[in-house]
Each structure stands twice: as structure tokens, then as C-alpha cells.
Structure 1
Amino acid sequence: MDNFFHDWPFYGQVALVIFLLALSGFFSMAETSMISANRHRLRAMAKAGNTGAALAEKLLKRIDSLLSVLLISNNLINTVLSILVTGIALHFFGDTGYVLSIATLVAAFLIIVFSEITPKVIGAAFPERISSSVGWLILPLIFILKPLLWFINYFVSSLMSLFRLEASTEHKALSKEELRSLVLESSRFSSNHHRNILLNLFNLENILVDDVMTPRAKIEMLDISKPIRDVIEDLETCYHNKLPVCDGDSEKIIGILSVKKALSLLGHQELEHEDFRALLNEPYFIPSGTPVLQQMQFFQDNQQRLSLVVNEYGDVLGLVTFEDIVEELIGEFTTSFSNLSNEARWLEDGTYIASGSASLRDLNRLLNLELPLDGPRTLNGLILEKLEAIPDHDVSIRIAGIVMEIVQFDDQGIKTVKLHQPHSFIGGA
């Protein structure tokens, strides 16, 4: 082979070296792009009509044959390259040990830079685009080298069996944490809002109805034992489509009333309490600690939208609706944050005014905080747990790196708190 190349003109030998470097770089780039390609993305491209992506996906199912072709071709070309560069150097500069060493180093440098590192970096940067294009050139090589591939793969399989190793060509399913990482890294392909919805979906497994329910003290309830005129007035001024109904005792819920159906009776006749009682639906009670996903399934199976959360003694702790769960996924349906602030973000001075009844989960989500969620669920409860008493004067406390300045309080608890963004508060307790 060396004598054959000596008969070529110098420029022809250099051109051959450049061609072999490019060909070796092609196989290196193809190898990296195929291995780095996201199979889910290739499958999506194939379903969209990209035949190159469909071919790449098919080749990846036989990863042993694919790698064998690429590695055999690459190594053969690199071997020829080393011989050719060394032969050129010895022919023009003399057959000495010094020239041989320099030629070997030059050949290694050319192969590493132009046939290995640079092509592989390019292949890793554009894996799907390249892998969906190179398959048409690799497929014929697989058929041409099929006998050699069979021998090599048989030898490799025997060697792996000898060491009791088992190779699997199946693509393993992604775990939940791997899926979460993919979502976090998908900023180029999806908006922040869509990405947050997917992340919230993963978090639903760890959320209980207690985390999303409306507390007992904030439930709008209809007392049907009131005079009929007061009952009608309460219905006309209520803010919800369905109301829990009690009969004098607010601790005992006797049914759920559809406000729309109740208002449809107005103006037709002289209404009595029994007219509204006839419209009551049986209340659904769920135990405290029920997972949100389980409750969502209950709503779907029973075509319900509202349930009452009770403790082990049967006392009503709160109310949870289908909308409450959906809001955990997509955010608030309204821009009104009555238990937070007029603005769901930090002010320019690095502060935020929140009600003591503000949900810690809401504060974490809206202000990007990391307030603890394994104890109290409201800001008032969290501060009282740390202070171990209701304050009798204005105080400040630091929790999870956030300075909280108590602005208003009474005998029952903390009403208003000023939160200070990290590094925006000087002094304090």
C-alpha cells in the first residue's frame, strides 16, 4: 500500500488525506449523533412524516450492528490515515526515527482534532437533525458488511456470555425523576406556563386535600333555619355555584344546594324552606389526608365537583372542589388574591404584604420561596409555631431565609405580615 501511494503526486496524496479525514469525521459524527439522539423526539419526527428519522429509529433498534459498522469503518480509515501520513513524511523527509516520531504525532493530531473531537461535538450539538440524515448512507454499509458484522457480533456475544453479561437493545422507560429533568430542560421547546403545569402534575402525588381545601372558617354556608327572606337574600348575594347547607348548627352539614336551581324558583310562587330542602343533594365527606389524585379520580367517577373534608371525629375541616385541584395544575383562575396581596409578586422595595391566612403553598409558588410545608399550612400558623405564642407587640422573625415582620395581630392570631426578600432587609430579630 505504501508503494502504491508513492506513485501518486504530492497534491493527490494530500487530497486523499483530507478526504479520509472527512470520511472518518463523518463516521464519528454519525456515531455520536445516533447515540445522543432522543428516541422520543425521533419517534415524533417520524410520525410527522420524516422518513430519515424513521430510518434512524429503526437503526437504533439494532444498536449492535449500527455501532459495529460505524466503529469498523472509522478504525479502518484511521489506520489507513496513519499509514498514509507516515509514508508521506518518510518519503519527503527521510527514513529516520525522528521523522517517524513527528509523523506519528502529526497523524494523531489530525485524527483527534478533525476526525474525532470536532465531528463528535457537532454530532452531540445536533443529534436528531444529523441522525435523521446519515441513516441513508449507513444502511447500505450494513448490508455490504453483513458477513463481517455477523462474525464480529458473534464473537462479541460469546465474549459477553463468557463474562455472564447480558446486552439489551430495548429502550428503557424513563423514571419519574428523569421525566422531571426532561421537563426542566425543555425551556427551548415549551413556555414557562406549560412547563410549570407538567411539573405540578408530578407534584400532585405528594399533595393532600388538606393542602388545597378552603378552611372551615372561610366556607360560605347557607343556614336554612333563618327566615325565608334572609335565606333568599343570602342566595342572591353568594359568590359560589354550590353552597353547603346547615340547619341552625353550623357544625352539621345537611346537604349541598345548587344556587342556580335555587334562584330559578324565585318569582314563581311564595317560597318556603321546604322548597329549598327539596333541592338539597347529599353531601360527600372525605377523610383528612386523602391524596389529591385519589380525590380527582373520585370526582370523575361520581361526576361530583365538591366534597367536605372531615377529621377522625367527623368535624368539618374544610371544603375541596374540582377547581381547587385544577388550580394546582394551571394556577389561579382569577387575579384576585384576597388572602395574599394586590400584586402576586415582590414590590420594588423587595417587600410583600400578605395576610396571616395566606397559604404557604401559594406563597411558595407565587414568590418562589421555600417555606416549610410539613407542618402548618398558613403563614399565621407557621409564625405562631416558631414564636410558640401570639405576639403582643410588633416583632420580626426569620424563617427559611425570609424575614417576616408582623404588622397587624389580635388576640386570635396574626393578621398581616410584611415579607422581606432575601438581602433586602437590614436588622430585625
Structure 2
Amino acid sequence: MEDASIGFLLGILCFLILCSAFFSSSETGMMSLNRYRLKHLVKKKHRGARKASKLLERPDRLIGVILIGNNFVNILASAIATVICVRLWGDTGIMIATFGLTVIILIFAEVSPKTLAALYPEKVAFPAAYLLAPLLKISYPLVWVINGITNTFLRIFGINVTGDNNHHLSTEELRTLVNEAGALLPQNNQSMLLGVLELSEVTVNDIMIPRNEVMGIDLDDDIDTIIGRLSNTEHTRLPVYQGELNKVVGILHMRNLAQVFHEGKVTKAAILQVIREPYFVPESTPLETQLVHFQSQNRRIGLVVDEYGDIQGIVTLEDILEEIVGELSSSPRDADQDIFPQEDGSYYIEGSAYIRDVNKALDWNLPTDGPKTMNGLITETLESIPEANVCLQLMHYRIETLQVSDNVIKTARIIAFKKKQDD
């Protein structure tokens, strides 16, 4: 090295700085790769992705070969820079080499390449994998020794270096991932995926049709009344009961009644012959579980019962599917028919409107852990049924009753205020 020209040494120094930049960018690029996109590219047999994935199976070895290479070229570059500066400036050159090379390495071999790799990890990591793989094979004995010492040191502190390196997502993390997909995932698809993730958090009681809105066949009615209801119903399945819904005897499918209508022999006995035994569902059943039960039991409708066995309402397969894909058809439960926007930013909302439907339609967060309708929410908050119109504040919503009759709040005016930053 004493006989080498300064120009030759400068050339070697530049090459070593480039090598240092390569190792620095490779480390950042490899560690910044999206593991799920990497798995996707591996399945598509992308060569660079397959090599990178292979290297990442043992990150300790990958980091080992990168740091060995990076430290080697940096130390060698420091020695060569010192030789050059001593030749040019004598003993003062040692200090010049130290500070000068530090600045050069920071800018050109650390900050710049690592920033580039963090912004474009795939463009850096995949090509780098073609060089890192053979370097790992060549330096494997040294990497093995260093990793062995390092892993032993880590085990002293109770760190399991051979633990599961797979990256698993929790439900909340997956929900965040779907929300952050942006334009890469259509809004409808995002809504459906989020709907699936929320099935375990919503119970049958949250979406059921309450018993006061259940349409069914009462066998205590005369046959003409029953025929009229069967002729005018919009539903394909109806509960059949004796006097009251708690005395249900079965579920009638209109398809099974078609032959009876065709023969013109519609009688109560004929109806009882084509009904199916009732299917009961506990009100606290999560929708995720109930969806599986509907599938395994080959059912589409269930009678929701409380802890005492009293029927609280009905739930259908369509109700659960609507939680995932949105409204399947126009129905009396559509929130749009219960919500009327006003010019001042407030909304007139029917007391019978479901709180969950209102929250979905307006992107609100009214409490849903208690009453299911707006009427129930207001009366529970007031702890009484108002005899005249009242105004109240609930969270960051101002509610004013507009119509109260028959001990029921028919209509309310609600305006939502922006949350404070501290909320």
C-alpha cells in the first residue's frame, strides 16, 4: 500500500464506499419488505422475492453477513483514507481522514442509501438478494461463529432467538390494514371485509327483528284471516303460533304451501302438515357463530329467545348477510326511510329506527349496548317517558323530541356536534 499511487487508493476508497452503501441499503430494504406482499410474490414465483424470502427465514444470518461485510469495508476504507491523508498532510491527515470519512460515510453510505431503501424496499432488496445469497455461502463459517456467540449472549437474557418468526395479524390489525388499503381496494370490498371482521362482535340480539314487528300466522284466527295474510305477505317464511308468539308450533315456508293453494284446500290442518319444527337461537349468540349454525342446520330463520326461553324476535340468514354486504333489498327496516336530513344539519329520526342502522347511515357512534331503537335510547336516558317534548344532551349529540304519543317517542330531532380533541 506504501507504493500504491494516490489515484489508485482513491479508486479503491470510492469502491469501498459503494460497497458500504450496498450493505446499508440491503439491510434496510430487506427489513422494510412487506411480509404479506412478499408471500404473494413468492406464490407468483418472482425470483427476487423467492431469494429474499429464503434469506429472511433466518434474519440472524442475513444481518450477520450484512454487518460483517459492512464493517469490513468501513474499516478498510478508514485505513486507506488515513494513508491518503497522511501522504497529503502528514500527521494532521489522521484527523482530517477521521472527520472527512465520517461525513462521507454518513451521507453516501448510510443516510442516502438507507432512505432510498426505506422508500423503495422491493427495488433494493430483490436485486441485493442475488449478491447476498452467495456472500452468505462464502462467509457462512464466520457468520455461524458470530451468530453462535451472539445467540448465546442473547439467551443469557432470556431471549429466544429461534422463536416463531411468522408475522400474524390480530383482528384489529387486519381491520386497520383493510382501512388503510385506500384505492387499492374498492370501497364495497372494504365494507364487506370489515363486515366479516365485525361478525364476532355483534350478537343476534343486535340485529333481530323484535317480536312486536314479527309477522306470523296465528292459528286462533279464522281461516279467512289466515288466507288473507298468506296472500299478502312479502315474506317466504312465517312463524306459526297458537295465540301468541311464545306458543310457536313451527315455521311455514310459502313454497311448501303452494301445492295446498293449488288444490284449493287451505285449512289449518293443511298448514300444520307442511310446517317445519321451530329453530331457537339464544339472543347472545355472536353472528359469526350463528352463521355457521345456520349452515350446519340447513336453516334460514331462527326464533331468538332470552335466558328464560321467551321469544324476543326472529333472525334470518339474510339479516346476517346484510351485516356483511349491506342491504340486500328495500325493506321496512331500511334506515333511509326513518332518517330525514334538514337544511340546518340536523336530522328528523323516527323513534322506531334502529340505533345500529342510524350509526351506519350517518357514521355516528350512538351507544348500542342497551336499547336497540331511538325511542328506547331516549327513554332510558331520561329514565322516564316524557309527557311533553323535551331536549337532552347525549354524548356529543343534542336530541329534541318532536312527537310523543301513546307512551312512545314517535319522532326526534338530532344534531351531532364535532368531538373535542380531548374526547
Structure 2 CA distance for aligned equivalents of residues 318 and 179 of structure 1? 33
**Alignment-derived partner of residue 123 in structure 1:** 117
Q: Distance in 1 between matches of 2:148 and 2:244?
A: 81
- Deviation, structure 1 residue 253: 1.4
Q: CA deviation at 1:59?
A: 1.0
Partner residue of 2:194 out of 194, 199, 215: 199
Name the counterpart of 1:427.
none
Of 6, 27, 31, which aligns to 2:27? 31
Which amino acid letter does the alignment assign opposite residue 52 of structure 2? A
Structure 1 runs not aligned, ≥5 long: 425-429
Corresponding position of 1:396: 391
Q: String of CA shifts for 1:212-271, please: whole Å, max 9, x gaps.
A: 111111111122333333322211211111011123334421111001222343243343
CA distance in 2, matches of 1:66, 1:345: 61
Taking the aligned partners of 1:52 and 1:84, their CA distance within structure 2 comes to 34
Q: Given the alignment, which residue of 239, 243, 256 partners 1:248? A: 243
Contact kept, 8 Å, 2:200 with 2:289, in 1: the verdict is no
- Structure 1 273/127 Cα, relative in aligned 2: closer, same or farther at 3 Å? same
Aligned residue in 1 for 2:375 = 380
Go from structure 1 to structure 2 and tell me whether the alpha carbon gap of 1:421 and 1:14 turns closer, same or farther (over 3 Å shift).
Answer: farther
Deviation sequence 1:23-77 (CA, Å, 0-9, x none): 2222111111212223222111111121221111111112122111111111222
SS class of match (1:177) = helix
Where do residues 267-416 of structure 1 align in structure 2 (5 Å cutoff)? 267-334=262-329, 338=333, 340-342=335-337, 349-416=344-411
Cα distance, 1:389 vs structure 2: 1.6
SS of residue paired to 1:419: strand
Aligned partner of 2:261 in structure 1 is 266
Alignment gaps of 5+ in structure 2: none
Q: Which of 141, 152, 155 is the aligned partner of 2:135?
A: 141
CA contact (8 A) 2:338 2:349 kept: no
Structure 2: distance between partners of 1:288 and 1:150 = 59
Contact 1:397 1:405 in 2 (8 A): yes
**Contact kept in structure 2, 1:337 and 1:344, CA below 8 Å:** no
Structure 1 pair 128–219 and aligned structure 2 pair: CA distance change class (3 A): farther
Q: Structure 2 vs 1, CA of residues 285 and 348 (structure 1 numbering), >3 Å: closer, same or farther?
A: same
**Preserved contact between residue 389 and residue 402 of structure 2 (Cα < 8 Å):** yes
Pick which of 246-255 and 214-223 moved more.
246-255
- AA matched with 1:157: N
Counterpart residue type for residue 53 of structure 1 = A
Contact 2:401 2:409 (C-alpha < 8 Å) held by counterparts: yes
CA distance in 2, matches of 1:309, 1:273: 25
User: How many Å separate the matches in 1 of 2:21 and 2:380?
Assistant: 64
Given residue 322 of structure 1, which amino acid in structure 2 is its aligned partner? Answer: L
3-state SS of the aligned residue for 2:347?
Answer: strand
Pick one of 81, 87, 90 that aligns with 1:95.
90
Shift of the alpha carbon at 1:319? 0.4
SS of alignment partner, residue 315 of structure 2:
strand
CA distance in 1, matches of 2:169, 2:162: 16
SS of equivalent to 2:212 = helix
Structure 1 residues 124 and 348: alpha-carbon distance in aligned structure 2, compared to 1, 3 A threshold: farther
Relative distance call for 1:164 and 1:356 in structure 2 (3 A) is closer
Match of 2:102 in 1: 108
TM-score where L is the length of structure 2: 0.90
Distance 2:332 2:29 in 1: 49
Q: Distance in 1 between matches of 2:119 and 2:339?
A: 39
Q: How far apart, CA to CA, are the structure 2 residues paired with 1:64 and 1:277?
A: 71
How far apart are the structure 1 equivalents of 2:9 and 2:345?
69
8 Å Cα contact 2:338/2:350 also seen in 1: no
Contact kept in structure 2, 1:359 and 1:378, CA below 8 Å: yes
Cα shift readout 1:305-362 (whole Å, capped 9, x = no counterpart): 1111122333211101111112222222135564633497966642223221222222
Q: Between the two proteins, what is the percent identity of the paired residues?
A: 35
In the superposition, the TM-score normalised over structure 1's length comes to 0.88
Cα pair 2:199 2:288 within 8 Å, conserved: yes
Cα distance in 2 for residues equivalent to 1:418 and 1:58: 61
Shift of 1:82: 2.9
Per the alignment, residue 74 of structure 2 pairs with 78
- Which residue does 2:170 correspond to in 1? 175
CA RMSD of aligned residues (A): 2.6
